[in-house]
Each structure stands twice: as structure tokens, then as C-alpha cells.
Amino acid sequence: MTHPRAQAISALADIDDTELFVVFADRKDRGLVTVQYFEKPGEGGLDELRRLKDTRWETTVPEGFEPFAAASGRLRDDLGIFWAGWSNERSLHALSIFQEQPIRLTLESGERLVQSAVAVPSKRMHQYAWRERGTRAALWLHEFMGELDGPGRLASREIGLVEPLPTVSAAAPLSGTDDDRSVLAWAGSGDAGLIAGAVMAGAGEFAPAATTPAPRIRPADRQRLGLVVGQGGEGILVAGFVGLQEDSGAYVFVEARFDLNVGEGKLELQPLPVPPGSVHSGATIYYRDAEEPSALVLLLSPEGVLSRYLTDKRELRELRSGVSLDYDFPVISTFARIYEASFGPRGEPGLEELR
């Protein structure tokens, strides 16, 4: 199995069931393709994954772009919309099931997209992004609107400022609600050290929560932040990522827990049992229990060795070697299981449990 960069994985979920979508550009003609899976409780309490449908969109993904699909806190049939597209560092192109042509967003120089895009109950797609403002960053909301039998529209606005400049961030939809807002979490380092923040964004007052600084630590390069949000945005709000101690070069797992009601966050640090310089890229995935999740940290070494670290057991294990440094961690958790998207020997896409 191969795990190319030109592939994405996204989830639409309600309280009990989860839809998973693998999104990729066909190797022959770069056509945009989505593969739909459905996970629901099976007999004996074991969750069952079913492959439902392959959809070939009547559009192609240009060379130099990566495909994506928007996540949502509602199942597709309940939401009544599905958004997909492609992006690179210069632009993002998105289309809903109602559009024949994509809606184009041209990014400012240095503008960085927050992953992932979110399909909200109003049937719009929200893509958040950071624009640098000196030592601070402006959070922007790009709102894509796809109407039946009409051209798509785009509206963009700045919604708030944070400091220091985030170097890792993620957005998550609210589940079990008609609320168009999303939860964002991020981390960056300034003169005082590492600070993590979180906010409920998309409407209303911009009132982020932040942690106190952790001196001489910064987020490691090239990583994906893990984010868990309680149902409807209530209860638990946890973000996890890999940090780097600037004095020693040692790696640590950083977990930030937030209370948006009081605007505060708390950092917890756990040493990672890997030597300095041994992490090229990484991703944090939360699993097991949505109310008290455990973190799995995937680490890719400069030599192409992929390992996983379980933070609750403090256990490091090598998964496989010979992994391309372009590996983009097409991995997602439904809490029952962790899945990885891949291509088979004949180029067919698939979704397998990560072990």
C-alpha cells in the first residue's frame, strides 16, 4: 500500500454514526474522486465500517494542488450539502454538490489556511486562515456559498487578532447542533515562550482563551494538531501537538485544555522518548473516549520511519519504514477506531484500520 500526499480524509459525524470520505485525484487523469464509508455500531458492540459509494466529480485537480473535503458535525444526508476542492499555498478552489465550477479564493502572500474546512448547517463552507500582522496574526473567515442553479459566492472578513503568531492550528465543527460556529485551537511561540489558544469562531464576539507561556518551548515543524470538542461545543476542549525544547532539542507532547467560559487554558507536558533531530513531521490523533480521549502521536523520522506513541501508556512502537517524507498523515479517528487512507497496488483507494 502507498500513502501519497495527493490524498485527504475527512469525516461527517453525528452523535452515534460517522461517515468517512477519502478524497483524491485520479492517477490517470487527475479527476476529483470521493469514496464514502459509513461506520456504525455492529453486533456485540463492535463498530462496522462499510464502503458505500465512489463518486467521480466532473472536474479535475490541477497539478501542484492537494484535494480536500470539508468536515462537519452532521451526516451528509442530514446536512444536505457536501463540499470538496483543492488548494495550495496560493489559492483554494471549492465546490459543493450544487456547483459545476469551483469558487476560487486567492490567498494573500504568507496567508496560511487552518485545517480543516468546515461544512456548517447553513450549507455553507467555512475556511479559516491566518494573516500575519507583525508579531500578531489576524484570523480571517472565508465563507463559501453554493446555491442550487446559481453561481457560487465568496465572502471574507477578519474576525479577530491573536498573539503570538500561530505556527500550528486546527478547526473542528460542532456536533449535534444547528450552530454555524466552529472551534479553533492553535499554538505559537514568542519572547515569553509557547502559548496555546482556542476560540469559538464564526459568529458573535471573538473571545479566545489562552494558556500561560511555557518558556523555551515552541511547536515542532511540519505537524498536524489534534483537537477534541465536546458535543455542541460544551464540555471538553483539548488540543495536542509536538513541542520542541529550544535549549536541548528534546521533544515533548504538549496538551492544552481550555475553558472558553472563563477564557483560560492549561498546558501539560510529557517527554517523548525520541532523540533530538529524529522527527521530520508528526500528527496527533485523539481516540477511545470522546469525553476523556487518549492521544496517539504519529512521528515520521528523517529516514522515513513512521512510529506511533501512546501518551496514556507512554509506549513508542515503529509502524513501518520506507515512508516518503511527503507523507501527509491521511489518518482520522472515529474514537472507536483509527483509519488511514491509502492506495492499493493497482491504484485503488482504500481505508484501513491503523495498527
Whole-prediction pTM = 0.93
Q: What is the mean pLDDT of residues 291-317?
A: 95
Q: Of 133, 235, 113, which is closest to residue 186 (Cα–Cα)? A: 113
The 10s digit of each residue's pLDDT in 252-291 is 999 999 999 899 999 999 999 999 999 999 999 998 777 7
Q: What percent of the chain has pLDDT over 90?
A: 66
Maximum pairwise Cα distance, the chain: 59
Of 148-152, 185-189, 316-320, minimum mean pLDDT range: 148-152
How high is the mean pLDDT of the chain?
90
Q: What is the C-alpha separation between 141 and 77, in angstroms, rounded?
A: 25
Q: What is the mean pLDDT of residues 292-310?
A: 96
The 10s digit of each residue's pLDDT in 116-148 is 899 999 999 999 999 999 889 999 999 999 877
Q: Of 312, 313, 314, 310, which is closest to residue 298 (Cα–Cα)? A: 310
Q: What percent of the chain has pLDDT over 70?
A: 93
Q: Between 141 and 332, whose confidence is greater?
A: 141
Does the pLDDT value for residue 167 go beyond 80? yes
Q: Which amino acid is at 63?
A: E
Q: Torsion angle of alpha carbons 220, 225, 228, 234, nearest 10°? A: 90
